[in-house]
Amino acid sequence: MKRTNLLFCISVIIMFIQGVTTVFAFDVCTTLLGYEMKWSTSSVKYWVNTAGGPTGSYSAITSAMDTWTNVDTSIFAFSYEGTSYITTNPNQSDGKNVVEFRSLAPLGFDQSLGISYIWSYVSTGEITETDIFLNTDYPLSTDMSPNAFDVQSMVTHEFGHSLCLDDLYNTGDSEKTMYWGISKGETKKRTLDQDDINGITYLYPGIPTDTLLLPIGQNSYFYPPVADPVKSINPAMAKPAGVGSVAFGGYFFNLHIALEQFSGPADIYGVYYLSSNPQIIFNLKPDLTFQAFFTQEIVQALATGQPPAGAVPWKHNVTGPIDEFPLGNIPLSSIPSGTYNLYLLVTPVGTLNTYYLWNTYFVVP
């Protein structure tokens, strides 16, 4: 049977793929600077435009999403956001992840059944958007027709690129979803091989019970003031800094920091600034004193991934769990009036390239 290139994976605008890193029996996309490409979130939503596709395309596409989402050793999940009726410009990022049917000849990929456009930051590898296009110049089907290419198999492969797993070319890999080619009537790519499973698990590992996974991207969370912290292995649900009775109109500030055990060694920074003087940020040191930095120094540090000169984390190279009261029970009468903005930053040891950043506040009348 004629075999046709299933996918040509490209990225435009802000990233170009230079090569791949071989890990076990799967390949991972990397940027020109050698960073592995991946999403900074564990859940990605897709819009689907089935115009031009065969009957049953919606079900085939969502089933392909579920195939990757249902890997129980990975935290990652694809989800359906809604139906799109607008034709996407492949050469322009619009902030939406889309699956769409179209002729690929005008794009110069007439020999490809499908193509994934991937946008990411070359300096970090963080993926910001992926769009998937399936080529209507070839016969496509969803009913396992022997005379057409199976949409569900094609899209399952393409979603692998969205993760960002790369093509496999060795003939010994031909049974795997990420193998580069597909034949008419072939449906085996609907089901993941163990090496495909190992690939998504490597990039987006599952969270062990009662363990907070170290950050793989730059993740920020805000929550209103709470008296006591809320621990969670899900960083989006955690509220790691409680502020005491001031949270509900009381007269004491009592900083209470609590975090679940981490999946590896981490650094923890605690900082605050007053809304009346946002140019200065104060960093909590291990001896429970504060060191002052200009806000621009902190912004630059997060942009470069390197702490400001002289900055030290409150906790260094710890695995947790954390449950401490660093400052004691302080009466508000001894604190200058104003709104205090509190931040807790958790990073892998020695770098600010990836992090969890939680933000809350309290008010002293």
**pLDDT per position as a tens digit, 179-203:** 998 999 999 999 999 889 989 988 9
Check if the beta carbon of residue 284 is closer than 8 Å to that of residue 291: no
Helix, coil or strand: residue 157? helix
Check if the beta carbon of residue 7 is closer than 8 Å to that of residue 180: yes
- What pLDDT is stored for residue 10 in this prediction? 41
pLDDT tens digit sequence for 149-167:
999 999 999 999 999 999 9
CB hemisphere CA count around 90 (13 angstroms): 21
The contacts of residue 249 (CB under 8 Å, 6+ apart) are none
Check if the beta carbon of residue 196 is closer than 8 Å to that of residue 73: no
23, pLDDT greater than 50: no
What's the mean per-residue pLDDT of the chain? 87
280, pLDDT greater than 90: yes
120, pLDDT greater than 80: yes
**Hunting for tokens 């009957």 — which residue is that?**
55
pLDDT tens digit sequence for 283-306:
999 999 999 999 899 888 888 888
- What pLDDT is stored for residue 8 in this prediction? 34
CB atoms within 10 A of CB 153: 24
Helix, coil or strand: residue 200? helix
171 compared with 287, residue with greater pLDDT: 287
Q: What is the mean pLDDT of residues 111-115?
A: 91
Question: Hey, what domains does the chain have and what are their CATH numbers?
Answer: 3-203 (3.40.390.10), 211-364 (no CATH)
The contacts of residue 310 (CB under 8 Å, 6+ apart) are 291
Give dist(CA 306, CA 294) in Å, integer.
15
278, pLDDT greater than 80: yes
- What pLDDT is stored for residue 290 in this prediction? 95
% of the chain beyond a pLDDT of 90:
61
- What pLDDT is stored for residue 210 in this prediction? 66
- What pLDDT is stored for residue 207 in this prediction? 61
For residue 200, the one-letter residue type is I
Q: What is the mean pLDDT of residues 239-257?
A: 96
1 compared with 26, residue with greater pLDDT: 26
